[in-house]
Amino acid sequence: MSWRNDKKGKKTPYQGDRRSFGEYECSQCSRTWKSANSFANFGQMCQTCNTMVYAHTMKPLERPEGLDEIDPEKSHPKHLCELCRRGYNKCVAK
Ligand SMILES: [Zn+2]
Ligand SMILES: [Zn+2]
């Protein structure tokens, strides 16, 4: 199951409250990345060109303990995350 970005006027394909696994593609430099801290209508900054990017695809995270498998090396890039930059406390703190 996944949510696709086919609704006009929404920033992200998923509109619920839960943390999701998001896939991002920067419209300026075409960099792509994935994040397990993806939330409805919040973007992440492209670390190459500082463009705010919203997930084009979001999938439900069934098992939060699975986060480490997705991104075992890096901690959550708070300086790139719109939620963290605004002071929300939803993302995984590492
Ligand atoms: Zn970029
Ligand atoms: Zn965050």
pLDDT value at 3 more than 60: yes
Among all bound ligands, the one having the nearest atom to the CA of 43 is 2
pLDDT value at 73 more than 70: no
State phi, psi for 85 to the nearest 5 degrees: -65, -30
**pLDDT, tens digit, for every residue of 5-34?**
555 668 999 999 888 999 999 999 999 999
Domain boundaries, the chain: 3-62+76-81
Which residues are CB-contacts of 13 (< 8 A; sequence separation ≥ 6)?
3, 4, 5, 6, 7, 55, 56, 57, 58
pTM across the whole model: 0.72
d(CA 5, CA 37) in angstroms, rounded, equals 17
* Distance (Å) from CA 81 to ligand 1 centroid: 14
* Distance (Å) from CA 27 to ligand 1 centroid: 7
